[in-house]
Structure formats: C-alpha cells, structure tokens
Amino acid sequence: MIITIARQCGCGALHVGEILAQHYNIPLYTRESLKEMARQKGVLSEMDDFFDERPVDDLMFAISYDYADAAGKVHQKAIHMLADLIGQQDCIIIGRCGNYIFRDREDLVSVFLKGDETTRIKNTMIEENMSAEEAMEFNHLMDERRVFYHRYYTGLIWGDAKDYDLCIDSCRLSAEDAAQIIESYIASVHLQLK
C-alpha cells in the first residue's frame, strides 16, 4: 500500500504522515529523504530539478508543455526514476506528485490536505517561527510553487478533487483525526500492506 499526501502549506501533512507511518509501521518519505535515497542510488543529479521544486513560470511551462505528448506527460524521466526508487514497497510519500506517479498502483490511497488560510498561517508561524506577515507570504509562495510544479510535471491541476481519493480539511481536525479518517478509508476499501 502506498499513501500519497499532497497539501496546502500549513496543513500539518508531515504530522499526519508520521502518525500513519507509525500506525502501519511503514516508511515516510519527504522531499529530503527521497533526495537522500536518490543520492545513495547515484541518480540525484538526474533528478535535481524534480527535488528542488524550483518555481516554474508560465512561459517556461508553456514552452515545455508544447513538447509534451497529448496526455500532458511532462518530464517523464524524473517521474520514472522516483517510481523506480520506491518500487512496490509500502510507504507514505509527502508531495512529489505522488498521486500522479503512482496512479496505476491498485494499492494507492491519494490524499489532499487543505485548510482555511488563517489557521494555516498560524500553523506556519509556529512551525517556521515566523511573524504572521512572513507566514502568509511563505504559505502563498509555497502553494504557488506547488501549483506550477504539479502542472509542470503532470499536466494536472494541483488540488483538483477528482485526482485524489480523499480531500480533508486538516485545519478543522487534529492530525490524529485526519489520520484516523485516512485509516478508516483504507480499511473500508480493504487495502492491506504487502
């Protein structure tokens, strides 16, 4: 089973992922841990742009998208490399277009975490030790980067409900409650670890 968690900035995705990883006793992969895995396998240099989450402007996206195939599959090399790094193992992945990359796995559970702006700003203030203004700018910048990044690598709209099994307002819930909803969904669709 693979659980992918996409998220708006300040929604506590890492904490939700940690709870799920502990519950299922499976690894949790973030950008940094995936980068380290790619470094150990000797493929990091081929995936640098994919991991750096550099902002992609509209012109750059339009140029690259023109050369993509009709399905909108852009930059398949990095996507295939990440899929190869993970293989068929049970795990949780935060971000990295996981819902798209692993969409053909029958044991995929894809989640999108969202929340109201005020709560997300408060969460970021605490997590990043920022003022309200800094946290608001940080959240806006990170979410904007994720929109372009997701579209650049997948051709899809980041956060579009039809591309996820579950969309959860994790700001209205505790991380434990959000994780419990995901666990309940997994049990209801009868997914099991390998």
The pLDDT value given to residue 53? 62
Structure tokens at 176: 């434990």
pLDDT of residue 36: 93
- Cα separation, 123 vs 132, whole angstroms: 10
pTM: 0.89
> What angle in degrees, to the nearest 10, is found between the helix axes of 13-24 and 175-188?
50
Domain segments of the chain: what residues?
2-187
Taking the CB of residue 102, how many other CB atoms lie within 10 A of it?
A: 23
| One CATH from 3.40.50.300, 2.40.50.180, 3.40.47.10, 3.40.630.30 for 2-187 | 3.40.50.300
pLDDT along the chain (194 residues), means of 10: 98 98 97 92 84 56 46 64 92 96 96 98 97 97 92 91 97 97 97 87
Distances (CA, A) of 140 to 15, 32, 61, 113: 21, 21, 19, 15
